[in-house]
Amino acid sequence: MDPQALQTALKARFGEVAWQYSESPRGQRRLVVPAGQLESYLSFLKTQCGFDLLIDVTCVDYLHYRGARDRFGLVYILGPSTSGERLVVRCYLNEPDLTVRSAVPLWEGANWLEREVYDMFGIVFEGHPDLRRVLMPEEFAGFPLRKDYPLRGRGERHNFERITRNQS
């Protein structure tokens, strides 16, 4: 879908002020939407604008980012299944309310991707069928990809019992 038509469609559906569309010099297309309405935007993009392939779900923690106003930027990357264009849909989240509606009802593929974001950043997806940690152990506390979590961890990696030659 070409950018003009996309913006017209979005204007007709959501008004003019709620969202921002921009394009980078290298042709990256971004759409910033309000976090509360994320699901309806995604649903609209999927059903009306042809972006029926979910490419990726990820998140950026802007804690140490100079000049950032929001703590987390949640990113959904969409594309049509008929061409190679990509659209980055982003919404901002702040503590303490780190909750958005899940996109699993729209795309089955969002299931693990959202679990990973939950695992790494602690963002809660409402309506997700199975929101558990996916990469870290269940009992792990903390969210490793947040900027306030140290690279070398807090000692969890060596919190195990040791086996000597005699015991085995």
Partner 1 sequence: MDVSVPENVVVTRLDSLASWCRKNSLWPMPFATACCGIELMATGASKHDIARFGAEVFRFSPRQCDLMIVAGRVVMKMLPVLQRIWLQMPEPKWCISMGACASTGGVFDTYCVVQGIDRFIPVDMYVPGCPPRPEQLIQAVIDLQDKIQREGTLMGAEFLTEARQQPKRALLDIATASNSPRPQPLPILPNVGV
Partner 2 sequence: MASGLLDPPASTIEQEYRWTLNFGPQHPATHTTLRIVLEIEGEKVLNARPEIGYLHSGFEKIGEHLNYNQYVTVTDRMNYISPLANNIAWHHAVESLLGIDVPPRCQYIRTILFELARISDHLLSNGACALDTGAFTAFLYAFNQREVLYQVFETLCGARFTTSYTRVGGLMYDATPKFIEQVRQFVKNFPKVHADICRLLNRNRIFVERTKGIGVLTKEEAINRSATGPIARASGVTRDLRKDTPYLAYADFDFNVVCSTAGDCFHRYLVRMDEMLESVKIIEQALENLPPGPFNVPMADRTVLPDKTRVYNTIEGLITHFEVVMTNRGFQTPRDECYTAVEAPNGELGFYLASDGSETAYRARCRPPSFIHFAMFPHLIRGHLVSDIVAVLGSLNIIAAELDR
For 81, the 3-state DSSP assignment is coil
Site for partner 1 in 65-84 (CB under 8 A): 65
Q: Judged by CB, which is closer to partner 1: 34, or 153?
A: 153
The entry of partner 1, partner 2, none near residue 154 (CB within 5 to 8 angstroms by kind) is partner 1
Q: Quote the crossing angle between the two packed helices 3-14 and 38-48, to the nearest 10°.
A: 130
**Virtual torsion, Cα 9, 10, 12, 18, nearest 10 deg:** -170
Closest CA to 78 of 49, 101, 105, 99: 49
* Residues forming the site for partner 1 (CB under 8 A): 64-65, 136-137, 140, 144, 147-158, 160-168
* Residues forming the site for partner 2 (CB under 8 A): 24-26, 28, 30, 52-56, 58, 60-61, 64-66, 75, 77, 81-86, 88, 107-113, 116, 120, 133-137, 144-145, 151
